[in-house]
Amino acid sequence: MENAFFTYFILFLTFGWAQGRLVRVPNGPLVSVVGQRVSIRCSVSDYEGPREQDFDWTVLRGTDSLQVISTFDPAYSDRSLQGRVDSGDISMERINDNTVELRIRNLKATDSAIYRCSTPSTDSVIRGNYEDEVQLKVIADSLKVSPVAPPAVVPEGGRISLHCTATVDSAEHTSLSVAWSVRKGTSLEAILTFGPERAVTTGAGYRKRYADGGLRLGLPGGGAYDLVLTEALPADQGVYVCTAKQSVPEQGGVWQEILQRSVDMGEVRVTPTSQSLTVAVGANRTLSVDDTLNLTCSVAADGLAALGLEVTWLVGSAPGGGPTDSRVLARVSRDGVVTGASDLVGVRRVGAGVFTLVIRGVSKSDSGQYSCRVSAWIRQSGGEWYQAAEKTSNSATVLVTMLEPEFKVTLRSVVTPQASGDPTELECLVTDALRLQDGRLGVSWRYTETTPADQPTSARAIAAVDEQGNLQPGDEYRQRAEKGLLALSRVKPDTFRLRLLHTQDSDVGQYSCAVSVWTRQRDGAGRRARRSSPTPSASPGSTKTRRSACRLSR
């Protein structure tokens, strides 16, 4: 019976207290830092009486008790605290009818104490708890943060290294976090936070970059923290900020920040590749046919080593022609793959930012406006490439001229006929030859009949030997050539001979020979050009022609 009564009594007390007034403050201890602000919330529930409740705060230090502040009594504060209350350093803010916050704006080390929140009774029956208390620990400010200024100017695609040292010295169990952010105008953009408890949190705009390895966190130790943006973008420029945060653990594994200190690391300007990229081709060139053309495309840019360069050689025929009227001659990809090259046309990279175009055995058709177009690419950490800039160089004028061969031609009679049926031999000699190079000689023979008045008539072609040594008889002399009565020969490299086996009366007249120099052009064909001015320009494969004449008589 006694046991049953005791059990009933305990249940009654438990039920009775559970239904009474309940005053609550946060679970402690609370930890904060000298010079910081703190707010301690107090609420009451399950009460009777007016909806709006009054609150009193008291501070306990050992056996001493000091009245701090009250919602009901303006004269409640202890004289030692009245000045702080009057200045607003200590205040109480009503959140709602049954909740208030004690606020201390500038904590002092002496504020470490137990804080008690109490509510005067408005209940018809005293039941429940009317006060609750929490311990506040105020620790010294030992948080230090010291940045290393990043480079003021970084090329697009370069590295931005953000080095920051942060330390804290506290006997309390606290955690240190380090965060990096960038200020662009008035907005502050979060990049990455390390901590608490070594957790890594990235800003919304940097998650993919961090996952791809373009944002790298380094922990060298000794309070040093490094963050590297491996491929800087123009959008990365701004003022970088390092922030150190000190936090304390709360129930449920949550960390509560108690102190934060931010320091500007410095402003970083990212130079876009499009601004720093310069492309230039060498000076104008004048060449002779069959010379070798060498042109150099020089590329310069900030952070050149990090760029993938694609170089396209262009040629246009119009003076001052631009890319719109140019054709692609050859290309070197950023991987070094060459397209458009041949045995005569070669392109290659010869050094950092230096590319050459070589055309061997130029012809007159190679004259034109030469330029190079450069595309600059940057590789991101994820492996993707993006085109950062493209520029076309100035045009270099290439003029290919033909320095005409110079030579003299002399015609002489070797065998003169004395009567009809005698042989006739004429020799055509090439003398004083200059700039024949590898040209081949060809000869053509012509006959002009003379009238009784010694007036020549129109000339007739006898025969010719082309640069290949082929005999080409004239129409009126074809039968004689086929019968062997007419022969053309080259007795020396510079001497040609015409032989008429049986001279006829109709052969009396004026004879002339013309010598041409043939040169080989790039496609293998031979071409002949004529002097068009005292100082002509000639296309490759062209010839110089000289004539000489003599009269045959009996």
Can you point out the beta strands (E) in 380-502?
A: 385-392, 396-401, 406-415, 424-434, 440-450, 456-465, 471-473, 486-492, 495-500
Averaged pLDDT, 20-46: 92
CB 132 within 8 A of CB 60: no
User: Helix, strand, or coil here: 434?
Assistant: strand
pLDDT for the residue numbered 521: 60
CB 39 within 8 A of CB 32: no
- Is 75's pLDDT higher than 50? yes
pLDDT for the residue numbered 440: 78
pLDDT for the residue numbered 3: 52
Averaged pLDDT, 138-149: 94
pLDDT for the residue numbered 19: 64
Token code pair at residue 178: 């380090």
Q: Which residues contact 187 (CB under 8 A, 6 or more apart)?
A: none
- Is 531's pLDDT higher than 50? no
Say how far apart CA 539 and CA 290 lie, in whole Å: 10
- Is 227's pLDDT higher than 90? yes
pLDDT for the residue numbered 321: 47
Averaged pLDDT, 301-312: 93
Q: What is the pLDDT of residues 481-494, one digit of tens each?
A: 888 899 998 888 88
pLDDT for the residue numbered 532: 23
- SS3 for 294-337, per residue? EEEEEEECCCHHHEEEEEEEEEECCCCCCHHHCEEEEEECCCCC
pLDDT for the residue numbered 157: 92
Averaged pLDDT, 508-528: 73
Residue linked to tokens 């080989």:
520
pLDDT for the residue numbered 68: 96
pLDDT for the residue numbered 438: 64
pLDDT for the residue numbered 100: 96
- Is 7's pLDDT higher than 60? no
pLDDT for the residue numbered 117: 95
Q: What is the pLDDT of residues 367-381, one digit of tens each?
A: 999 999 999 999 988
pLDDT for the residue numbered 126: 82
- Is 515's pLDDT higher than 70? yes
| Mean of per-residue pLDDT scores for the chain | 85
Q: What is the pLDDT of residues 120-134, one digit of tens each?
A: 888 778 878 889 999
Averaged pLDDT, 170-189: 92
Say how far apart CA 486 and CA 424 lie, in whole Å: 10
CB 402 within 8 A of CB 434: no
pLDDT for the residue numbered 526: 52
Q: Tell me the percentage of the chain whose pLDDT exceeds 90.
A: 57
Residue linked to tokens 């290309």:
331
User: Helix, strand, or coil here: 92?
Assistant: strand
- Is 13's pLDDT higher than 70? no
CB 47 within 8 A of CB 97: no
How many Cβ atoms are within 10 Å of 19's Cβ, its own excluded? Answer: 12
pLDDT for the residue numbered 374: 96
Q: Tell me the percentage of the chain whose pLDDT exceeds 70.
A: 87
Q: Which residues contact 290 (CB under 8 A, 6 or more apart)?
A: 361, 362, 363, 437, 519, 540
Q: Which residues contact 496 (CB under 8 A, 6 or more apart)?
A: 427, 428, 441, 443, 465, 488, 489, 490, 513, 515
Contacts 24+ apart (CB under 8 A), 209-217: 209/381, 212/380, 212/381, 212/382, 213/381, 213/382, 214/380, 214/381, 214/382, 215/191, 217/192
Burial class (CB in 10 A: 0-12, 13-18, 19+), 315: buried
- Is 551's pLDDT higher than 70? no
pLDDT for the residue numbered 435: 66
pLDDT for the residue numbered 542: 32
